[in-house]
Structure 1
Amino acid sequence: MVYVLGGWQSDFAANWDRQGMEIADAFAVTLREGMDAAKLDASEIETGHVGNFVAELFARQGLLGGFFGQVDPAFDGLPTSRHEAACASGSIAILAAAAEIEAGRYGLAAVIGLEQMRNVPGQQAAEHLGAAAWTGHEFSEARYVWPRAFSDLADEYDRRYGLDYKHLMGISEINFGNAKRNPNAQSRAWAFTPESFTANDDANPVVEGRTRKMDCGQVTDGTAVVFLASAERAAEYAAKRGLSLEDLPRISGWGHRSAPISQSTKMRASAGEDYVFPQVRRAVLEARARAGVELDGIDAVETHDCFTVTEYMAIDHLGLTAPGEAWKAVEDGTIAMGGRCPVNPSGGLIGLGHPVGATGVRMVLDAAKQVTGTAGDYQVEGAQRMQTLNIGGSTTTTVSFVVERGA
């Protein structure tokens, strides 16, 4: 059993380059702030993991695990590693740390996810992020690879089931609205008009294909850290602080599946199937099975919404609606705050921001906040169990966690 002792998230509205910060500075701030928030000393941490996608391209920096030793002398000698799975890099880092704990190698792990993305022009950032596609084989004619890839997904949904753009904009409006309650959201102070959430070419211009500005997750600098512990170490941690083990959140289930890197290969393989991305569905169900819960036991979800259609896909793959009927959950309020299963109370990638390597870690941190009633203004009332869904590339790598409170 793996417990979450706490963590910390940076302000996703920050631009590190403008603040004179390097990626190493952000790493150090995150680790120190995280330890302070969790009331941990550096000497207590036994292993370190980093989730990051393309620091070599944006920051010309690799070997990120080496930054632990720069933060505190107590980390000199700490076993560390870095994990990459595009937008799922942070979740893969959590899986690796959890596996070490479950194997009995270590009792307490620090997992940091981070990405610097706002220090280069937008076109260059898009090219860097395109490294998660099948380079030279898909989308080579697109100016913006991922808006094009998920435009193609919208096309696929339209062919199979029909798709009304107003439902994608319903998702966008919910997530931007949720973000206004999140003090770390990149878009918390942004202003919109009713036309922003329409197919108005001036208020919501086309980016690529069917993808418009308000469909897109935000390019963001950001970090998040969580501290994971074995049941034994978590019990010690709780006792020292006058808590019980039941007071601490835990990761009770996980699902991890990968599919071919080619998006067109995935779509061809699922032709005639119920779900566009069967491996996403498998990861979702396997996380719940390991946690011993069904959908009705999930109180809210933090899901991958790099684009509105990604969340549209996630809604039916999570089982909130039948395949192709995600629009019903938008229209009936299921996914809104106060709904049957709120989705992205944090604001998600669209409203909060998407520092690629940090997203999976941030999702688990937000899930832990929700089940302990510490999410502040974006708290889901009565949340006891959360599910995350983190996707890398065109659903090439999918990771889902169930996070709940209580032993």
Structure 2
Amino acid sequence: MKAYLVGVGMTKFEKPESRDWQYWDMAKEAGGKALDDAGIGYDQVGQAAVGYCFQVSTAGQRAVYELGLTGVPVYNVNNNCATGSTALMMAHQFVEGGLEDCVLALGFEKMARGALGGESGGEDFKTSPVARHYGIMAARHGFEMTPPTAQIFGGAAREHMELYGTTPAQLAAVGAKNHRHSADNPYAQFQDVYEVDEILAAKPIHEPLTKLQCSPTSDGAAAAVVASERFVERHGLGDRAVEIAAQAMATDTEESFASGSCIDVVGKPLSRSAARQVYERAGLGIEDVDVVELHDCFSVNELLTYEALGMCADGESGKLLESGATTYGGRWVVNPSGGLISKGHPLGATGLAQATELTWQLRGEAGARQVEGARTGLAHNIGLGGAAVVTLLRKP
């Protein structure tokens, strides 16, 4: 059974503690916008999948109770940085499998200022779910007193530079592009524009990554209403509906760890696997995609993802970026929202914010950042530990 996005919404992503609100306030705002966008009430939602990483158990119920006390099943979802897309995938499966006609996917995060102490929220990496991943990093690059996620992605950047001659300027150009894109996004945490030299000169986080190549901690929420074909027809939503053409999740295999490489352990094999599954299911390829929202948690991950999605051969991503192929006027527009680096990264909301941006793009509602003629969009969301979710959307 076909499934469609019929309503999307999000809050502005903001620096933690910049607004006096609770996670349920964010959820009410984003969820309410998605329902209003679909032109329906919460009483028409059959189930809800709610994602977050740093709130306590059953925070999902507390959040959606702000939308209505209807007694529907609520599933609390946590899949690290891929949490939002995982909630969307659950909603998609409920509809695609014929279990429900209308499902809400919601993601939010209320975070603390400063770098994350670790993917499990603590410092004891021996018992952390990502201990094996950090062990690969430590064996090859050592372990330093810098943010651990920056270390592991910084290790991947160093390896890419050693293997392929990728330059610091190419890494910085990712940040420059995405900060430039976010200038037109009122929902973005940052709207400042920087040149490559300014990004290279920014505060070092972990070599070769500077602050302006790293996603920030953020508060925010995003939501999407997923509906069946018959629900779309019954409610006259055909003009607004965006089809979920295919979606896939991949988790770690031996390939992630066997090489001892940070490039593999941060998820490039996962991303490649999920993308291949999506292309096969949809009968489309990356050459058919117009606009991409991908997981640029650090600048290097955007380059790794170009390669994993098949946009270029291994080692060619820096040159692809420099050619202008991934911005306005190029072959694809990647992260028109500003991506995680500039739009922000409230973990549980990120994947759903990507879906929201792509829905606006495919409807022609993205304003100054609109990708001309966009009909097909691809979202890529990854969580260390690990899971990669790739979603292909198209306007019927």
Q: TM-score, normalised by structure 2?
A: 0.89
Partner of 2:292: 301
User: How many angstroms apart in 1 are the aligned matches of 2:335 and 2:307?
Assistant: 15
Partner of 1:166: 169
Shift in Å, 1:29:
2.3
Structure 2 unaligned residues grouped into runs of 5+: none
Partner of 2:150: 147
Shift in Å, 1:123:
6.2
User: How many angstroms apart in 1 are the aligned matches of 2:262 and 2:213?
Assistant: 24
Q: Percent identity?
A: 25
Cα RMSD after superposing both structures:
2.6
User: How many angstroms apart in 2 are the aligned matches of 1:276 and 1:397?
Assistant: 8
Tell me which amino acid in the other structure corresponds to 1:314: T
Contact 2:218-2:344 within 8 A present in 1 as well: yes
Tell me which amino acid in the other structure corresponds to 1:12: F
Q: Deviations over 1:49-81 (max 9, x none)?
A: 1111222xxxxx2212212553144x3311110
Q: Deviations over 1:184-203 (max 9, x none)?
A: 01111x354663122x3xxx
Contact 1:133-1:261 within 8 A present in 2 as well: no
1:399 to 2:394 alignment: no
Structural mapping, 1:52-67, within 5 Å: 52-55=52-55, 61-67=56-62
Tell me which amino acid in the other structure corresponds to 2:165: G
Secondary structure in 2 aligned to 1:229?
strand
Structure 1 unaligned residues grouped into runs of 5+: 56-60
Q: Which moved further from structure 2: 297-306 or 156-165? A: 156-165
1:226 to 2:216 alignment: no
Contact 2:43-2:70 within 8 A present in 1 as well: no
Rate the CA distance shift 1:259–1:97 in 2: closer, same or farther, 3 A: same
Rate the CA distance shift 1:212–1:72 in 2: closer, same or farther, 3 A: closer
1:76 to 2:70 alignment: yes
Contact 2:5-2:225 within 8 A present in 1 as well: yes
Contact 1:316-1:326 within 8 A present in 2 as well: yes
Partner of 2:251: 258
User: How many angstroms apart in 2 are the aligned matches of 1:72 and 1:402?
Assistant: 28
Shift in Å, 1:276:
8.0
Question: Alignment partner for residue 346 of structure 2, among 345, 355, 361?
Answer: 355
Contact 1:69-1:76 within 8 A present in 2 as well: no
Shift in Å, 1:27:
1.7
1:292 to 2:290 alignment: no
Question: Alignment partner for residue 131 of structure 2, among 134, 151, 160?
Answer: 134
1:268 to 2:263 alignment: no
Structural mapping, 1:7-406, within 5 Å: 7-13=8-14, 15=16, 17-55=17-55, 61-68=56-63, 70-73=65-68, 75-117=69-111, 119-122=112-115, 128=121, 133-134=130-131, 138=135, 141-188=144-191, 190=192, 192=194, 195-198=197-200, 200=201, 204-238=202-236, 245=238, 247-259=240-252, 265=257, 267-268=259-260, 277-393=268-384, 396-406=386-396
Contact 1:69-1:77 within 8 A present in 2 as well: no
Tell me which amino acid in the other structure corresponds to 1:168: L
Tell me which amino acid in the other structure corresponds to 2:80: A
Q: Deviations over 1:257-306 (max 9, x none)?
A: 1015996x2543899x9x98323211112112211112221111100000
Rate the CA distance shift 1:87–1:266 in 2: closer, same or farther, 3 A: farther
Rate the CA distance shift 1:305–1:261 in 2: closer, same or farther, 3 A: farther
Secondary structure in 2 aligned to 1:177?
helix
User: How many angstroms apart in 1 are the aligned matches of 2:189 and 2:288?
Assistant: 31
Aligned positions, number: 384
Contact 1:303-1:343 within 8 A present in 2 as well: yes
Shift in Å, 1:128:
2.4
- Name segments (4+ residues, structure 1) moved above 6 Å: none
Contact 1:217-1:305 within 8 A present in 2 as well: yes
User: How many angstroms apart in 2 are the aligned matches of 1:350 and 1:256?
Assistant: 23
Contact 1:142-1:148 within 8 A present in 2 as well: no
Shift in Å, 1:174:
0.5
Contact 2:48-2:74 within 8 A present in 1 as well: yes
Partner of 1:6: 7
